Amino acid sequence: MVFNLFRRPKPAAPAPAVPVETEQPEPADQPRQAQAAPQPVIEEQGKNVTQSLERTRGGLFGAVRGLFQQRRELDPDFWDDLEERLLQADLGAHTTADLVDALRERHQRRRFGSPDEAEVALREQLVELLGSERATLNLPEPLAILLIVGVNGVGKTTSIAKLSHFLTAAGRKPLLVAGDTFRAAAIDQLRIWGERTRTPVVAQGPGSDPGAVVFDGIQAARTRGADVVIIDTAGRLHTKTNLMEELRKVRRIIERQVPGAPHETLLVLDAVTGQNGLMQAKSFAEIVGVTGLILAKLDSSAKGGVVFSIAQELKLPITFIGTGEQLQDLAPFDPEEFAAALFE
């Protein structure tokens, strides 16, 4: 089942409380029945996208917008300047070159003369690049498995906690698995987030076999009536080969336990690192079969332009964006809303 991350349009009759397509019967032994009733997803969100893009809008993307206001003519200087500012906003060399070429061509063909019109054309081009599809998550019932990967420090643990909070608000019953057994701190941190979000956490001691923890986690989900397992994984081992080997092994264990799983493999990227994250993403995508991205720390980044090069170069959907450090600071990615926010 594909899980709609966005609230459905409000029908006239009382709306179902959650945006899931079907409802699961409550298991008889339900450990978390006492929790608050599920809330509509979108209303749970913290900052809106425009607020969380403040740095990108005011900073480097502000410089792109400024160009259209400062210039009167679309002369060669204008195009050079536009190229430079898009590069600074972290759209990356490829994406920038393609965008500027396409705009120039449209300018020559349609002979639009003013910088104002060029701004509208750039915005259209950017929306086209992102595609109009809104994010979805494949969360089949009765048990969906989400594997979360990414290097240390990108915001992986926080994103897992936010995701768990998000899914709980949507009426799902997540369970967290501390599959990063390499770092004791990662296990502790996940436990703390589990307490805060009232989500069960399956963990073993530091140095234990991640495959065994994942196996236990899936078993525990079945016995405890959880319907989404969110698995944290190591973000750094002694070598990259070890890390990728371990991720492959964890994947195999999941596949054996739940045919067709993992249903989503989400890579967490740090928006602040911009273009550097693209290389990381490429390695992970090749080895563990990434299905979507969580772009964390977009609120801290002046380089939101990386979203466009991710769309163009990785061809992977951005499922969520991180918009702050609080639990509710995770927003499903909406390409049109994102592009509109940059030009507001």
Asked whether position 299 contacts ligand GDP by CB under 6 A, the answer is yes
Smallest gap from Cβ 277 to ligand GDP, in A, equals 12
Using Cβ positions, the residue closest to ligand GDP within the complex turns out to be 322
Cα–Cα dist 320/271, whole Å: 12
Q: List C-alpha distances in Å: 302 to 33, 64, 232, 278.
A: 42, 12, 28, 17
Tokens of 65: 């917008």
List the one residue from 39, 125, 152, 312 that touches ligand GDP (CB under 6 A): 152
Count Cβ atoms within 10 A of the Cβ of residue 191 and give its class: 0-12 exposed, 13-18 middle, 19 or more buried.
middle
Cα–Cα dist 48/46, whole Å: 6
List the one residue from 267, 296, 310, 314 that touches ligand GDP (CB under 6 A): 296
Asked whether position 155 contacts ligand GDP by CB under 6 A, the answer is yes
Asked whether position 147 contacts ligand GDP by CB under 6 A, the answer is no
List the one residue from 18, 122, 154, 261 that touches ligand GDP (CB under 6 A): 154
Asked whether position 322 contacts ligand GDP by CB under 6 A, the answer is yes
Total binding residues for ligand GDP by CB under 6 A? 17
List the one residue from 56, 233, 300, 309 that touches ligand GDP (CB under 6 A): 300
Residue 156: CA count within 13 A, CB half-sphere:
29
Count Cβ atoms within 10 A of the Cβ of residue 207 and give its class: 0-12 exposed, 13-18 middle, 19 or more buried.
exposed
Listed ranges 86-94, 118-126, 207-215, 321-329: which one lies at the site for ligand GDP (CB under 6 A)? 321-329
Smallest gap from Cβ 302 to ligand GDP, in A, equals 13
198 close to 186: Cβ distance less than 8 angstroms: no
Asked whether position 192 contacts ligand GDP by CB under 6 A, the answer is no
List the one residue from 31, 58, 66, 153 that touches ligand GDP (CB under 6 A): 153
DSSP class of 255: H
What are the residues binding ligand GDP (CB under 6 A)?
Answer: 152-158, 235, 296-297, 299-300, 322-325, 329
